[in-house]
Amino acid sequence: MIKKISTPSYIIDKKILKRFNQRQAVFGRKLYDEKSDFYKKGMYDNSSKVISSGKEGYSHLDFARMMGSWAVYDYFHNAFSWSNLTDANSVMQKPVLEKFPAKDAEKMSEEIKKTARYYGAFQVGITRINNNWIYSKDMDDAHIEIPEECKFAIVMTVKMIGSAIITSPTYKACTATGLAYSQMAFLVSCMAEFIRNLGYTAIPMGNDTALSIPLAIDAGLGELGRNGLLITPEYGPCIRICKVFTDLELKTDKPITFGVIDFCKNCEKCVEACEADAIQTEDELSFKTACPSNRQGVLRWAVNQDKCYKFWVENGGECSNCIAACPFFTKKI
Protein backbone atom coordinates (compact mmCIF):
# COMPACT_ATOMS: atom_id res chain seq x y z
CA MET A 1 0.00 0.00 0.00
CA ILE A 2 1.33 3.43 -0.98
CA LYS A 3 1.23 6.05 1.76
CA LYS A 4 2.03 9.73 1.44
CA ILE A 5 4.35 10.97 4.17
CA SER A 6 5.39 14.42 5.34
CA THR A 7 9.16 13.84 5.09
CA PRO A 8 11.24 11.58 2.79
CA SER A 9 11.84 8.01 3.91
CA TYR A 10 15.64 8.34 3.87
CA ILE A 11 17.67 9.41 6.91
CA ILE A 12 20.70 11.71 6.71
CA ASP A 13 23.38 12.77 9.18
CA LYS A 14 23.50 16.56 8.85
CA LYS A 15 26.88 16.67 10.58
CA ILE A 16 28.45 14.57 7.83
CA LEU A 17 26.35 15.20 4.73
CA LYS A 18 27.65 17.85 2.37
CA ARG A 19 27.32 18.61 -1.32
CA PHE A 20 29.03 15.99 -3.45
CA ASN A 21 31.62 16.71 -6.13
CA GLN A 22 30.54 15.03 -9.39
CA ARG A 23 34.18 14.14 -10.06
CA GLN A 24 34.01 11.87 -7.02
CA ALA A 25 31.31 9.74 -8.67
CA VAL A 26 32.57 6.65 -10.46
CA PHE A 27 32.54 8.18 -13.97
CA GLY A 28 34.41 11.23 -12.69
CA ARG A 29 36.99 9.04 -11.00
CA LYS A 30 37.37 7.07 -14.20
CA LEU A 31 38.47 10.32 -15.85
CA TYR A 32 40.43 12.03 -13.07
CA ASP A 33 41.34 9.67 -10.20
CA GLU A 34 44.76 8.27 -11.03
CA LYS A 35 44.65 6.12 -7.87
CA SER A 36 41.55 4.20 -8.98
CA ASP A 37 42.20 0.84 -10.59
CA PHE A 38 39.81 1.72 -13.42
CA TYR A 39 41.44 5.08 -14.26
CA LYS A 40 41.06 5.80 -17.99
CA LYS A 41 39.43 2.41 -18.54
CA GLY A 42 36.45 2.82 -20.86
CA MET A 43 33.35 0.67 -20.73
CA TYR A 44 33.75 -0.29 -24.39
CA ASP A 45 37.50 -1.00 -24.33
CA ASN A 46 36.84 -4.76 -24.40
CA SER A 47 34.05 -4.62 -26.97
CA SER A 48 36.05 -6.21 -29.82
CA LYS A 49 37.10 -9.08 -27.55
CA VAL A 50 33.56 -9.54 -26.24
CA ILE A 51 32.09 -9.51 -29.76
CA SER A 52 34.64 -12.05 -31.02
CA SER A 53 33.75 -14.41 -28.17
CA GLY A 54 30.59 -15.40 -30.03
CA LYS A 55 28.42 -15.25 -26.91
CA GLU A 56 24.72 -14.89 -27.57
CA GLY A 57 23.56 -11.32 -27.11
CA TYR A 58 27.04 -9.90 -27.77
CA SER A 59 27.26 -9.87 -31.57
CA HIS A 60 28.48 -7.00 -33.72
CA LEU A 61 24.86 -6.32 -34.66
CA ASP A 62 23.87 -6.23 -30.98
CA PHE A 63 26.71 -3.81 -30.24
CA ALA A 64 25.85 -1.49 -33.14
CA ARG A 65 22.20 -1.46 -32.07
CA MET A 66 23.29 -0.55 -28.54
CA MET A 67 25.50 2.30 -29.71
CA GLY A 68 22.72 3.65 -31.90
CA SER A 69 20.37 3.82 -28.91
CA TRP A 70 22.64 6.39 -27.22
CA ALA A 71 22.74 8.77 -30.20
CA VAL A 72 20.40 11.48 -28.90
CA TYR A 73 21.83 11.48 -25.38
CA ASP A 74 25.44 11.41 -26.53
CA TYR A 75 25.25 14.00 -29.32
CA PHE A 76 22.35 16.35 -28.58
CA HIS A 77 24.28 18.37 -26.01
CA ASN A 78 21.80 21.26 -26.16
CA ALA A 79 19.25 18.99 -24.48
CA PHE A 80 20.93 19.94 -21.20
CA SER A 81 21.57 23.61 -21.97
CA TRP A 82 20.72 26.15 -19.27
CA SER A 83 20.00 28.74 -21.99
CA ASN A 84 17.33 29.13 -24.64
CA LEU A 85 18.03 26.88 -27.60
CA THR A 86 19.21 28.57 -30.80
CA ASP A 87 20.01 27.65 -34.42
CA ALA A 88 16.77 25.74 -34.88
CA ASN A 89 16.47 23.42 -37.86
CA SER A 90 13.35 25.27 -38.93
CA VAL A 91 12.45 28.00 -41.41
CA MET A 92 9.84 29.41 -39.03
CA GLN A 93 10.59 32.51 -36.97
CA LYS A 94 9.83 31.83 -33.32
CA PRO A 95 7.73 34.57 -31.67
CA VAL A 96 8.55 36.01 -28.27
CA LEU A 97 5.37 36.15 -26.21
CA GLU A 98 4.53 37.97 -23.03
CA LYS A 99 5.17 36.07 -19.81
CA PHE A 100 2.34 33.68 -19.01
CA PRO A 101 0.50 34.74 -15.83
CA ALA A 102 0.99 31.56 -13.79
CA LYS A 103 -0.91 32.62 -10.67
CA ASP A 104 -2.36 29.26 -9.68
CA ALA A 105 0.45 26.89 -8.57
CA GLU A 106 -1.82 23.87 -8.39
CA LYS A 107 -3.18 24.41 -11.89
CA MET A 108 0.30 24.99 -13.31
CA SER A 109 1.50 21.78 -11.69
CA GLU A 110 -1.31 19.92 -13.43
CA GLU A 111 -0.27 21.48 -16.75
CA ILE A 112 3.39 20.60 -16.14
CA LYS A 113 2.52 16.97 -15.44
CA LYS A 114 0.17 16.72 -18.40
CA THR A 115 2.81 18.16 -20.71
CA ALA A 116 5.56 15.89 -19.37
CA ARG A 117 3.38 12.86 -20.09
CA TYR A 118 2.70 14.18 -23.60
CA TYR A 119 6.45 14.24 -24.13
CA GLY A 120 6.91 10.68 -22.89
CA ALA A 121 7.38 10.81 -19.12
CA PHE A 122 6.35 7.67 -17.25
CA GLN A 123 6.12 9.43 -13.86
CA VAL A 124 6.22 13.11 -12.90
CA GLY A 125 6.69 14.58 -9.43
CA ILE A 126 7.46 18.05 -8.13
CA THR A 127 9.55 19.03 -5.12
CA ARG A 128 11.27 22.04 -3.66
CA ILE A 129 14.97 21.85 -4.42
CA ASN A 130 17.09 20.58 -1.55
CA ASN A 131 20.54 22.10 -2.06
CA ASN A 132 22.14 19.03 -0.47
CA TRP A 133 21.43 17.13 -3.68
CA ILE A 134 23.09 19.65 -6.00
CA TYR A 135 26.65 18.68 -6.94
CA SER A 136 29.25 21.06 -5.49
CA LYS A 137 31.32 20.89 -8.69
CA ASP A 138 30.78 19.46 -12.17
CA MET A 139 33.02 17.20 -14.25
CA ASP A 140 35.04 20.25 -15.37
CA ASP A 141 35.70 21.09 -11.70
CA ALA A 142 33.54 24.22 -11.95
CA HIS A 143 31.38 25.23 -8.99
CA ILE A 144 27.66 24.65 -9.55
CA GLU A 145 25.34 27.41 -8.40
CA ILE A 146 21.65 27.24 -9.18
CA PRO A 147 19.92 30.64 -9.60
CA GLU A 148 18.31 31.58 -6.30
CA GLU A 149 14.91 32.09 -7.94
CA CYS A 150 14.82 28.46 -9.13
CA LYS A 151 13.16 26.74 -6.19
CA PHE A 152 11.31 23.84 -7.81
CA ALA A 153 12.42 20.57 -9.39
CA ILE A 154 10.24 18.73 -11.88
CA VAL A 155 11.41 15.11 -11.63
CA MET A 156 10.47 12.63 -14.34
CA THR A 157 11.11 8.99 -15.07
CA VAL A 158 11.39 7.15 -18.37
CA LYS A 159 10.37 3.52 -18.53
CA MET A 160 12.92 1.03 -19.86
CA ILE A 161 11.91 -1.93 -22.03
CA GLY A 162 11.41 -4.75 -19.55
CA SER A 163 11.71 -7.59 -22.05
CA ALA A 164 15.19 -6.32 -22.93
CA ILE A 165 16.33 -5.58 -19.37
CA ILE A 166 15.69 -9.16 -18.26
CA THR A 167 18.38 -10.31 -20.74
CA SER A 168 21.01 -8.40 -18.71
CA PRO A 169 23.97 -8.14 -18.96
CA THR A 170 23.74 -8.64 -22.74
CA TYR A 171 23.89 -5.82 -25.28
CA LYS A 172 20.13 -6.09 -25.71
CA ALA A 173 19.67 -4.89 -22.13
CA CYS A 174 22.31 -2.22 -22.69
CA THR A 175 20.30 -1.01 -25.68
CA ALA A 176 17.26 -0.52 -23.44
CA THR A 177 19.40 1.62 -21.14
CA GLY A 178 20.78 3.74 -23.99
CA LEU A 179 17.34 4.22 -25.49
CA ALA A 180 15.98 5.42 -22.13
CA TYR A 181 18.82 7.93 -21.84
CA SER A 182 18.10 9.26 -25.32
CA GLN A 183 14.43 9.53 -24.39
CA MET A 184 15.50 11.44 -21.27
CA ALA A 185 17.38 13.96 -23.41
CA PHE A 186 14.32 14.41 -25.63
CA LEU A 187 12.02 14.75 -22.63
CA VAL A 188 14.00 17.33 -20.64
CA SER A 189 14.75 19.47 -23.71
CA CYS A 190 11.06 19.56 -24.63
CA MET A 191 10.04 20.36 -21.06
CA ALA A 192 12.64 23.11 -20.75
CA GLU A 193 11.52 24.77 -23.99
CA PHE A 194 7.87 24.50 -22.89
CA ILE A 195 8.66 26.36 -19.66
CA ARG A 196 10.86 28.94 -21.42
CA ASN A 197 8.08 29.66 -23.88
CA LEU A 198 5.89 30.52 -20.91
CA GLY A 199 8.51 33.09 -19.93
CA TYR A 200 10.20 31.23 -17.05
CA THR A 201 13.65 29.82 -16.33
CA ALA A 202 14.29 26.12 -16.98
CA ILE A 203 17.46 24.13 -16.27
CA PRO A 204 17.25 20.60 -17.76
CA MET A 205 19.48 17.79 -16.57
CA GLY A 206 20.05 14.06 -16.74
CA ASN A 207 22.69 12.70 -14.36
CA ASP A 208 24.50 16.03 -14.29
CA THR A 209 24.09 19.05 -11.96
CA ALA A 210 22.20 17.26 -9.18
CA LEU A 211 21.63 13.77 -7.77
CA SER A 212 18.54 12.23 -9.34
CA ILE A 213 17.49 9.57 -6.81
CA PRO A 214 17.07 11.74 -3.69
CA LEU A 215 15.19 14.37 -5.73
CA ALA A 216 12.91 11.64 -7.09
CA ILE A 217 12.27 10.42 -3.53
CA ASP A 218 11.51 13.98 -2.43
CA ALA A 219 9.08 14.30 -5.36
CA GLY A 220 7.14 11.20 -4.33
CA LEU A 221 8.21 8.87 -7.13
CA GLY A 222 9.60 6.00 -5.05
CA GLU A 223 12.00 4.79 -2.35
CA LEU A 224 15.65 3.78 -2.21
CA GLY A 225 16.30 0.04 -2.48
CA ARG A 226 19.10 -2.30 -1.45
CA ASN A 227 20.44 -2.10 -5.01
CA GLY A 228 21.05 1.64 -4.60
CA LEU A 229 18.35 2.51 -7.12
CA LEU A 230 14.99 4.23 -7.01
CA ILE A 231 12.24 1.64 -6.55
CA THR A 232 8.94 2.84 -8.00
CA PRO A 233 5.56 1.32 -7.07
CA GLU A 234 4.59 1.04 -10.73
CA TYR A 235 7.68 -0.53 -12.30
CA GLY A 236 10.30 -1.17 -9.63
CA PRO A 237 13.78 0.08 -10.58
CA CYS A 238 13.28 -0.39 -14.34
CA ILE A 239 13.34 3.37 -15.01
CA ARG A 240 15.73 6.24 -15.63
CA ILE A 241 15.43 9.67 -14.02
CA CYS A 242 15.74 13.20 -15.37
CA LYS A 243 14.69 16.57 -14.03
CA VAL A 244 14.16 20.27 -14.77
CA PHE A 245 14.77 23.07 -12.24
CA THR A 246 12.58 26.14 -12.63
CA ASP A 247 11.44 29.42 -11.08
CA LEU A 248 7.85 28.67 -12.07
CA GLU A 249 5.77 28.53 -8.89
CA LEU A 250 4.40 25.00 -8.50
CA LYS A 251 2.59 22.82 -6.01
CA THR A 252 4.86 20.13 -4.58
CA ASP A 253 4.13 16.43 -4.12
CA LYS A 254 4.61 14.51 -0.89
CA PRO A 255 7.13 11.68 -0.55
CA ILE A 256 5.73 8.17 -0.38
CA THR A 257 6.45 4.90 1.37
CA PHE A 258 5.28 1.45 0.35
CA GLY A 259 7.48 -0.86 2.37
CA VAL A 260 10.65 -0.99 0.26
CA ILE A 261 13.11 -0.94 3.17
CA ASP A 262 11.37 -3.75 5.08
CA PHE A 263 11.04 -5.75 1.88
CA CYS A 264 14.70 -5.31 0.96
CA LYS A 265 15.78 -6.44 4.44
CA ASN A 266 14.34 -9.87 3.68
CA CYS A 267 15.04 -10.06 -0.04
CA GLU A 268 18.48 -10.50 -1.53
CA LYS A 269 17.53 -11.23 -5.12
CA CYS A 270 19.69 -8.33 -6.35
CA VAL A 271 22.62 -9.56 -4.24
CA GLU A 272 22.36 -13.02 -5.80
CA ALA A 273 22.10 -11.57 -9.32
CA CYS A 274 25.07 -9.20 -9.01
CA GLU A 275 28.07 -10.70 -10.81
CA ALA A 276 30.33 -7.98 -9.37
CA ASP A 277 29.54 -8.74 -5.71
CA ALA A 278 28.81 -5.02 -5.32
CA ILE A 279 25.62 -5.10 -3.20
CA GLN A 280 25.62 -5.34 0.59
CA THR A 281 24.18 -8.38 2.37
CA GLU A 282 23.72 -6.78 5.81
CA ASP A 283 20.18 -6.86 7.20
CA GLU A 284 20.24 -3.32 8.52
CA LEU A 285 21.02 -0.03 6.85
CA SER A 286 24.10 1.90 7.95
CA PHE A 287 26.04 5.09 7.34
CA LYS A 288 29.17 3.24 6.22
CA THR A 289 30.33 3.62 2.64
CA ALA A 290 31.44 0.83 0.32
CA CYS A 291 33.85 2.75 -1.94
CA PRO A 292 35.14 6.30 -2.57
CA SER A 293 32.32 6.91 -5.06
CA ASN A 294 29.73 6.80 -2.24
CA ARG A 295 28.81 10.07 -0.56
CA GLN A 296 28.87 10.13 3.23
CA GLY A 297 26.06 10.93 5.63
CA VAL A 298 23.20 8.86 4.14
CA LEU A 299 21.67 5.85 5.89
CA ARG A 300 21.33 3.11 3.25
CA TRP A 301 22.88 0.00 1.77
CA ALA A 302 25.84 1.56 -0.02
CA VAL A 303 26.65 -0.12 -3.34
CA ASN A 304 30.29 -0.64 -4.28
CA GLN A 305 30.17 1.28 -7.53
CA ASP A 306 33.85 0.64 -8.19
CA LYS A 307 33.19 -3.12 -8.42
CA CYS A 308 30.11 -2.42 -10.50
CA TYR A 309 31.97 -0.31 -13.06
CA LYS A 310 34.87 -2.76 -13.33
CA PHE A 311 32.36 -5.46 -14.28
CA TRP A 312 30.92 -3.12 -16.92
CA VAL A 313 34.41 -2.76 -18.43
CA GLU A 314 34.82 -6.54 -18.43
CA ASN A 315 31.35 -6.97 -19.93
CA GLY A 316 31.88 -4.39 -22.67
CA GLY A 317 28.63 -2.66 -21.65
CA GLU A 318 26.67 -1.73 -18.56
CA CYS A 319 24.82 -4.26 -16.41
CA SER A 320 21.19 -4.26 -15.21
CA ASN A 321 21.16 -7.57 -13.32
CA CYS A 322 20.00 -5.94 -10.09
CA ILE A 323 17.10 -4.33 -11.96
CA ALA A 324 16.11 -7.52 -13.74
CA ALA A 325 16.13 -9.50 -10.50
CA CYS A 326 14.12 -7.06 -8.41
CA PRO A 327 10.68 -8.47 -7.48
CA PHE A 328 9.20 -4.95 -7.61
CA PHE A 329 9.98 -5.03 -11.34
CA THR A 330 9.67 -8.66 -12.30
CA LYS A 331 6.19 -9.06 -10.85
CA LYS A 332 5.01 -6.36 -13.29
CA ILE A 333 6.12 -8.12 -16.46
Quickly count: other Cβ atoms within 10 Å of residue 221's Cβ.
Answer: 28
Provide the pLDDT for residue 90. Answer: 85
Q: Is residue 96 part of a domain?
A: no
Are the C-beta atoms of residues 248 and 153 closer than 8 Å to each other? no
pLDDT band at 87 (very low <50, low <70, confident <90, very high): confident
Mean pLDDT value across residues 170-189: 98
Q: Is residue 252 part of a domain?
A: yes
CA–CA distance, 97 with 188 (Å, rounded to integer): 21
Are the C-beta atoms of residues 283 and 301 closer than 8 Å to each other? no
- When divided into structural domains, the chain yields a total of 1
Q: φ and ψ at 140, to 5 degrees?
A: -90, 5
Q: Residue 109, SS3?
A: helix
Q: Is residue 89 part of a domain?
A: no
pLDDT band at 88 (very low <50, low <70, confident <90, very high): confident
pLDDT at 86 over 90: no
Q: Is residue 14 part of a domain?
A: yes
pTM: predicted TM-score of the whole model, two decimal places: 0.96
Q: Is residue 247 part of a domain?
A: yes
Q: Is residue 94 part of a domain?
A: no
User: CA torsion, points 311, 317, 323, 325, in degrees to nearest 10?
Assistant: -70
pLDDT band at 333 (very low <50, low <70, confident <90, very high): confident
Q: Is residue 91 part of a domain?
A: no
pLDDT per residue as tens digits for the range 220-260: 999 999 999 999 999 999 999 999 999 999 999 999 999 99
Q: Is residue 88 part of a domain?
A: no
pLDDT band at 72 (very low <50, low <70, confident <90, very high): very high
Are the C-beta atoms of residues 309 and 26 closer than 8 Å to each other? yes
Task: Name the residue among 256, 267, 169 with its Cα closest to residue 226.
Answer: 267
Domain extent for 272: 3-81+101-330
Q: Is 220 left (phi over 0), alpha (psi -120 to 50) or beta?
A: left
Are the C-beta atoms of residues 171 and 66 closer than 8 Å to each other? yes
